[in-house]
Amino acid sequence: MKIELTPIGYVKNSRKEVTDDFWGKVISEIELTDEFTPEALKGITEYSHAEVIFYFDKADKEKVLKGSRHPRGNKEWPLTGVFAHRVKDRPNHLGHTIVNIVSSNGNVLTVKGLDAVDGTPVLDIKPVLKEFLPREEVTQPAWASELMKDYWK
């Protein structure tokens, strides 16, 4: 089966290179394609957060992780499989981030904390509803917390 997706918009921000950390203060505009009218964003600012699904278009197709590796190449952290990572070198190169909604103006949604570089294709935007967040305590290994310590600074 083949699945084809068409971007609904593109990221515009100051981040031109893929890097691992310091995404928390990044302000991004998601400019919708001409296929959408400003009505497509009507009501989005009534929510505090949105989920943004995007495509890692700059990821190297030859580096797709199909097994396991040490997170960020750090041998002090355990070997973990691709589905235990949020790495860009994933099978379908899909990224997903919950962002703060800053504003909406015409066909542009402005958000804070989107970890996607300038020009990244956006595949979907969904409002965050509390009822879709985990209903139980979220747990993770200690190495993941260490890895993420500067991610959102």
Phi, psi dihedral angles at 38 (to 5 degrees)? -60, -20
Pull the structure tokens for residue 33.
């394609």
152/7 Cα distance (integer angstroms): 26
The mean of the pLDDT values for the chain is 91
- Determine if residue 91 is left, alpha or beta; phi over 0 gives left, psi from -120 to 50 gives alpha, anything else beta: alpha
Tokens of 31: 């400019």
The CATH number covering residue 30 comes to 2.40.30.70
* Residue 110 resides in a domain: yes
Note whether residue 135 is domain-resident. yes
Structure confidence at residue 15 as a pLDDT band (50, 70, 90) = confident
Q: What confidence score (pLDDT) does residue 94 get?
A: 95
Residue 17 lies in a domain: yes
**How far is residue 106's CA from residue 44's CA, in Å, rounded to a whole number?**
12
Residue 153 lies in a domain: no
Tokens representing residue 105 in the block: 């103006």
pTM of the complete model? 0.90
Residues 6 or more apart in contact with residue 83 via CB below 8 angstroms: none
- In a domain? residue 4: no
Phi and psi at 65, nearest 5°, equal: -80, 120
DSSP 107-130: TEEEEE-----TTPEEEEEEE--G
Q: Which pLDDT tens digit goes with each residue over 25-69?
A: 889 999 999 999 999 999 999 999 999 999 999 888 888 888 998
Domain that holds residue 41: 9-147
Residue type, 137: E
Q: Residues of the chain with pLDDT > 70: what percent?
A: 95
Residue 22 has pLDDT above 80, yes or no: no
* Tally of domains in the chain: 1
The C-alpha angle with vertex 21 and arms to 109 and 108, in degrees rounded to 5, equals 5
The answer to whether position 90 is within a domain reads yes
In-domain check, residue 72:
yes
Average pLDDT of span 86-112: 94
3-state class (DSSP) for residue 129: coil
| All residues at 6 or more sequence positions from 33 whose CB lies less than 8 Å from its CB, including other chains | 7, 8, 9, 10
Average pLDDT over residues 140-145: 90
